[in-house]
Structure formats: structure tokens, C-alpha cells
Copies of this chain bind each other. A is one copy, B any other.
């Protein structure tokens, strides 16, 4: 489904424009969207209007690039609050895998739609998503109709006994190939496929090696988890005799088309591998705290030249999908160890926009406000007192603003959020469907909720 952008040009007029361009330009002025692209931008009065332009007055607002989250799990949004206070491996084995196994196509759709609604309303316009094993087409259908930009793939797991989600190796590959052929490049390239072997402990060597072949044959990213948590790091060493990133590299999973979520606990060999292969890293600061994993060494990775993005990960380990929460935490967490000057707001904002866009291989057409790029644009209203006074627009975005401050959101020039509401979807039915769906899934998985 190719959604139409507004046929009329749209002028976002009079806002404080935070470009995240090469010069980190910030100015008060105008941004013109046309034919799904950023047609022009500049200080007030500098943008030529064509007749018929719709003018949206965003005086007193901040205009910035849509946020890009380089690691989320739409299939898990229903599980928010059902998996509290567990470390990674028990969290997966006691809660997440049984719950994912209990999803039907209908409940998975409810989960994805709830997550996309949350992401769009909070200003996230692009995501790299990892699905569950089955029925993943419904996630693409939800993204297709709701208008978010998404690279996604079904989870691949074939290590018998890890979980009831395991598939035979050949079936995992063929169903991934089928999805990639159906969705990669769809919706005017708004949707892309990424092969998603879940993590090394749930994948056979054969599955990993064949994944590389199939993904590269189609020009798709590969997306997995690595070096997240002490328990997992130990288990990977015990199983492979190597550290995570090195073990993956030995199986061919390394390079500019590979995204490794987390990378919290990295040996020197792993650091060297990331640097040598230009492998991408998705940083998930809330999750790394919630699952007791640690704090990823992001300043060191950036100093190594590693491309880093940021993502909220899953609702059951966060428990929100807010770009604002993650970029603020990405900035704050590094300061005690690396000093107050570490991770200034402009760096955190860049990670959540251009950094994540580069992780997705889409920094050429998203991630900043520059002429010719896709019109993925967010307007942040300043009606509430925590955004006043305005002394530093970038610090305001990173340290003070919250998801609820987002007033307007455009993807490919199409307005998806207007005045803090979804334009094309009925939020009430999305919320109601989610409440019903979680009851079904929790009952099928025999996992109790903490409801009174």
C-alpha cells in the first residue's frame, strides 16, 4: 500500500528548527514539505511558497527530524508490565517466549498497532523491528496501513529445546525469504526487510550462515542481539568458546549490513571486530537497566568510529517506546563515568536521528532536516511548563520534552499525527483491542497479570 502524501505543499511556519544537519544548524524559520520530501527550509521569509500551500503555524514549537529507533519489538507491546523485575534469560524463558508463542495473528496485530500508535504519537517515524517467529506478515500490514517507516523481520530460532518457538532451520529460512520477497522495498521503499536471527543461543550455525547468504542476496539488513547481559555473555562463552560479537563474526554476521542490539559487555576482541567490520550497534539504555544488564560503552564505540543508534526495545523491558526517554537516558547514563561534558544533548539527539538512520542504512534519505530528504518531520509543542523557558532548543528536546509534547508528525510528507491525535486510525479501537488481546494471550500462556 502506497499512502499518498498531502498533494498540497505544507509549510511548517515560524518554529524553532533543529536540523541535525552537518552543521547542527538551529534557526527560527520555515520548513516546506512537498511530494513527500523536504522541499526547502530556512530562516523566516527565505522559503518561496507556491500557490495552494497549506500553512501550519508552529510558532513557539520545535521542529525536528522524525526520531529513528534502531531496535524495537512490536510483537511484545501487549506484554507491557507482565515481566517485571527479571534478568534477561529468565525474562525470556519464563515470560517472553511463552507469551510470543501464545500470540495469534489477531493478537499480534493488536500488539503491533498499539506499538505503532505509541511510536507515532511520540514522534518516532522510523523503526528497526524484530518480530516473533510466526504470523509476521500482520506486523508489515499494520505498518503499511498506519504509515510508519519500518525495517523489520521475523525472529529466527532453530535450536531445539530453547523454546516452543523453534522452527526447523529450512522452514525458518524459507519463511524469512517469503516475507522478504513480499515486503522488502514495499510502499515506495517505506518498508524494508531485515533478517532477524534472534541471538546466537537460539540459532544453529547453519541458520546463521544461510541467513547471511539470503540477506545479502536481497540487499537486506541482518538484525540480532549481542553481548547484552552477564548471564547471556557467560552462556554464549560456554556454548561457543567465544565472546558474542566474535562468535557472530566467525559465522559471517558482521559488517555494515549487520545491526547488533545492546553491546553492553564487550571484550577488546569484540570492540576490534565492531570497528574492523563497521558493524552497527543499537543502544537500548532503559532496557539495559531494567534487565540488570549494565551501561553500554557508547562513548568508546563512538570514538572507535562505530555507527550507533538508539531504540526503546520491547515494552516488557522498558516499559515505554519513547524516543525522548531513550535519548535523555543515553545522554545521562554516560556522565558519571565519563564526565559532565560526555554525551552533550546534541550527541544524544544525533544518535536518535542520524545515528539510528545510519544503522538502518537510511541516513541518505532520513534522520535530518535537509532539502531532498524524505519528509519525516516532528513538531514538539511548548504549551506545558516543563518546556519553558526556552534557553537551549536541543537540551529542551533531549532533557525536558516527553512523548506527549509531540503535536504533529509527518512521514513521507503525510500527516499521521495532528494536534496530538492519530489522523488516520481510531485510537480507541486500538486500545480496546489491546486490552482484549492481552487477556487472551496471557490466559493461553498461563501467565498471571498483577491486576487487582
Interface residues of A (CB under 8 A from B): 16, 26-28, 78-82, 84-87, 91, 114-115, 117-118, 121-122, 286, 288-295, 318-322, 332-333, 335-336, 338-342, 344-345, 383-386, 388-396, 399-400, 402-405, 427, 430-431, 434-435, 437-438, 442, 449-452
Contacts and interface: CB of A to CB of B under 8 A. Distances in A.
Given A290-B340, A341-B85, A452-B27, A403 B386 contact: yes
Contacts of A450: 391-395
Given A80-B396, A384-B404, A389-B437, 6 more contacts: A78-B389, A82-B391, A87-B340, A292-B339, A389-B434, A391-B449
Contacts of A405: 404
B388 A332 contact: no
Closest 6 CB pairs of A and B: A404-B404, A392-B450, A81-B391, A289-B332, A81-B392, A292-B340
Contacts of A434: 385, 388-389
A396 B80 CA distance: 8
B385 A336 contact: no
Contacts of A391: 79-82, 438, 442, 449-451
B292 A118 contact: no
Contacts of A295: 336
B289 A399 contact: no
Contacts of A85: 340-341, 344-345
A434 B41 CA distance: 29
A86 to B, nearest CB: 5
A296 to B, nearest CB: 11
A100 to B, nearest CB: 15
B336 A400 contact: no
Given A289-B333, A391-B438, A403 B400 contact: no
9 contacts: A87-B339, A122-B386, A290-B335, A291-B335, A292-B335, A383-B427, A389-B437, A391-B450, A404-B404
A384 B82 CA distance: 19
Max chain B Cβ within 10 angstroms of own Cβ: one of A28, A122, A386: A386
A405 B222 CA distance: 37
A18 to B, nearest CB: 9
A25 B319 CA distance: 22
A336 B293 contact: yes
